[in-house]
Structure 1
């Protein structure tokens, strides 16, 4: 039996809802000692905040919303998971958090100066439709910033490093959560990996201009190293992680 896209979106929402209570406890999710590094990355791509209206898509527990608020943006968060939103609202009661699908936000056209996402694109069911939706919501001249990665395909160096770092360690049984994660990953659009060049090409096709890929996230990785531990820190640096910024043309 073929599973519909609607069913897949439900599975994705429910998966993240079930992870909400422990999400901030997992290394690399909560922004703590790496806050300054994240702020530097966002300033590099977005410039000064100046109170501009910013939409944090798939805001989860609100960590990126908290980052953007610290920079001086007027933040609105959006997520489809009620448990995630509950945690975000408890952290930042002064921020508006909306429940909606990031691929179909229902927001007004040309209502946001900036849209940001972290680790959303790799889960998209229909990225072409999502990028068109984000283009619609942005004001002319507005900026989109995507922070994401290819968490599927691995370079030869990455595969060798993973084998070496795991040798001699006790390998735990694969958890039901990991199994479910892999089942969902096999069904999303970027099931073979969300490579930066492919995402950038789709943004260009959606009408975005000045698409810029930045793969230098070393400052963030260094700041996270104590939290991640040395093994995971090494592997993370070998992954294809990136930030992509793009502009909606002024004459739209």
Structure 2
């Protein structure tokens, strides 16, 4: 065994926290993170409505909220939103954004695996690009089920960013070749465009998380079922979102993103 393998989860979780704290500075400048058009915003609204419906004052907990992109989308739809993250630099930007937009969104620092929120307190739990980073996803899913009201829903938006399709590998190869030739400028929205030291940290973290071999939707669903969720559905129809994002990427980067295994998974806490 390597020394990395023997490192306790506590250290890994601190590494993840530090990594996302550093990413906060440029997070909102990157397409695929922040929203850059009303067309893209409408596409996200449609996805959230498809699975969660209108808010109508219902309580939503947005886990690993980052700079609050999804929190604001939920607020748009009429949810009473609590955003939680454990990286204070992300929360600073989230709070500033809410102040600038006049939004009444509650933000606090917390751990998605141990939220410290009361039982049966939320109608919806959401997260975007969190699950692939989890050390113990089953424990997280059990925690999310605990804080949901009976009949409440969890909505996971994520993807397998480890195992590209053959087409995606071809696109990535072409993109790399063009970038070396200076034909295509580097664009944001990907860990592959980070400085070398942060890239190394990203790879080290990825090698130790639960989904180190890729967060396939079916594997996530199996753990949700084990945690006690029912009515689990996989939605891979994210074309409308990808189409609007493509305007802010190079041609090859847009095609690469559209062919990745990205999905939304919705599941229900039984007992309504």
Number of the residue aligned with 1:155: 165
Kept after mapping to 1: 8 A contact 2:171/2:252: no
Residue 238 and residue 107 in structure 1: after superposition, are their counterparts in 2 closer, same or farther (change >3 A)? same
Q: How far apart in 2 are the matches of 1:41 and 1:243?
A: 8
Give the C-alpha shift of residue 182 in structure 1: 0.9
Does 2:267 align with 1:215?
Answer: no
Kept after mapping to 1: 8 A contact 2:174/2:252: no
Q: Number of residues paired by the alignment?
A: 251
Give the C-alpha shift of residue 32 in structure 1: 2.7
Give the C-alpha shift of residue 158 in structure 1: 1.6
Give the C-alpha shift of residue 76 in structure 1: 0.2
Greater Cα offset, 151-160 or 217-226: 151-160
CA root-mean-square deviation: 1.4
Q: Tell me the SS of whatever aligns to 1:92.
A: helix
Q: How far apart in 1 are the matches of 2:33 and 2:55?
A: 23
Q: How far apart in 2 are the matches of 1:111 and 1:141?
A: 11
Residue 136 of structure 1, aligned match among 129, 146, 158: 146
Does 2:79 align with 1:73?
Answer: yes
Q: How far apart in 2 are the matches of 1:201 and 1:108?
A: 26
Number of the residue aligned with 1:234: 255
Give the C-alpha shift of residue 175 in structure 1: 1.7
Q: Which runs of 5+ in 1 are unaligned?
A: none
Number of the residue aligned with 1:64: 70
Give the C-alpha shift of residue 168 in structure 1: 3.8
Give the C-alpha shift of residue 166 in structure 1: 2.7
Deviations 1:126-170 (A, max 9, x none): 001000000000000001100000000122222122223332431
Q: Which runs of 5+ in 2 are unaligned?
A: 182-192
Q: How far apart in 2 are the matches of 1:32 and 1:173?
A: 20
Deviations 1:47-66 (A, max 9, x none): 12111000000000111101
Kept after mapping to 2: 8 A contact 1:61/1:85: yes
Equivalent runs, 1:61-210 vs 2, <5 Å: 61-93=67-99, 94-170=104-180, 175-210=196-231
Residue 18 of structure 1, aligned match among 8, 17, 22: 22
Q: How far apart in 2 are the matches of 1:247 and 1:108?
A: 18
Q: How far apart in 1 are the matches of 2:166 and 2:8?
A: 35
Q: How far apart in 1 are the matches of 2:216 and 2:75?
A: 29
Q: Tell me the SS of whatever aligns to 1:193.
A: coil
Kept after mapping to 2: 8 A contact 1:28/1:228: no
Which runs of structure 1 show a deviation greater than 3 angstroms over 4 or more consecutive aligned residues?
171-174
Give the C-alpha shift of residue 10 in structure 1: 0.3
TM-score by length of 1: 0.96
